Copies of this chain bind each other. A is one copy, B any other.
Amino acid sequence: MPISIKDIANKANVSPSTVSRALNDYPRISSERKDQIKELAKSMGYIPSQAARNLVTQQSATLGVAVADYLDPFYMCLLANIEEVALANDYDLFVSSFYRDRQREEKLFDAFYQKRLAGIIVAGSLIDDGYLSQVNRSIPAVLVNCFSYPFSVSTDKFSGAKMALEYLIGLGHRQIAYVSQGQNLNTELLRFQGYRSVLSEHNIPIDESLIVSGDSGVFGGIKAANQLMALPEKPSAIFCFNDMTAIGVLNALQKQGYQVPRDCSVMGFDGLDISAFYHPSLTTIQQPIYQLGYQAVEMLLDLIQGDDEVSSVILEPELIVRDSTARIRE
């Protein structure tokens, strides 16, 4: 049984109100009494009940964070940044994963709401375009990388994909494959649009057999690469939905005896830390992960403060050239 404010009041011969005021640095209280009560509370090992406090104040200092997948380092890096910014603002985090499962994502909001959290951040939402109508709760929410939602902070995927394609074409590649994520989300479609638009600008016809679908993870990348290398006309470069996919692609190519980048260039998207340490290190499109997390928290805090003037943010990614891409061989 945890000790309560009442226990302290009894021992100090004051009312619970006084104890509460002392502990919360209420201004009009004799400082001797305040110090005495604080010390007593400490010696008794008192730790306030957040639930009780939240109930009476009708507010909470914890933010809910839902990430698509604990096993994708992108979300973990984002999460680490979100936690850091939240902590700096005296909020703590209730973190949950929905394992890229839409049902589970939807259920999460009940959990968040039951806890009466101050606000929520969703990264990698599968509800995507339907978010506004589906999750219509009175709790402020910010989505990361879901451009269609009015309160969101996203990397410009279209622009990122274009950078990647321009770069590969600049290296002389024409047979450029794309390994998609496999779901019709904005984040996917924008990359694909970038891919198509650069190809058509360069008058390179779209070869449908070069567009294969992954699963945003390593295994999808492996499967996709095997599929691509079985083609009569193999690609000379493979642009992947994300770094994890690219790692799968790299792995499959190397296992089949292809040399990267000599036989085939490979590009990722995300800019995960580990992508720099692969062999060969991965050329990729770097998402501004820290900014994504920072701005998401700031936006959510504004929303919580009742500031409705906020509007979506789109951040530019950056091309990082490393060793997995090279000029095409004649």
Interface residues of A (CB under 8 A from B): 2, 47-52, 54-55, 70-71, 73, 76-77, 79-80, 83, 92-97, 99, 110-111, 113-116, 138, 218, 247-248, 250-251, 254, 273-274, 277-279
The answer, among B2, B73, B248, for a CB contact under 8 Å with A277, is B248
Enumerate 29 A-B pairs (CB-CB under 8 Å) in ascending A order. A47-B113, A48-B114, A49-B55, A49-B114, A50-B114, A50-B115, A50-B116, A51-B51, A51-B54, A51-B115, A51-B116, A70-B76, A70-B77, A70-B79, A70-B80, A70-B83, A71-B73, A71-B273, A76-B76, A80-B99, A92-B111, A94-B94, A94-B95, A95-B95, A218-B273, A218-B274, A248-B277, A254-B279, A279-B279
Which residues of the partner chain B approach A248 to less than 8 Å between Cβ atoms? 277
Which residues of the partner chain B approach A94 to less than 8 Å between Cβ atoms? 94-95
Number of copies: 2
The answer, among B48, B80, B138, for a CB contact under 8 Å with A2, is B138
A282 to chain B, nearest CB (A): 11
A39 to chain B, nearest CB (A): 17
The answer, among B47, B76, B247, B254, for a CB contact under 8 Å with A71, is B76
C-alpha spacing A102/B47, complex, angstroms: 20
The answer, among B52, B73, B93, for a CB contact under 8 Å with A96, is B93
Known: A70-B79, A71-B77. A274 touches B277 (CB 8 A): no
Which residues of the partner chain B approach A2 to less than 8 Å between Cβ atoms? 113, 116, 138
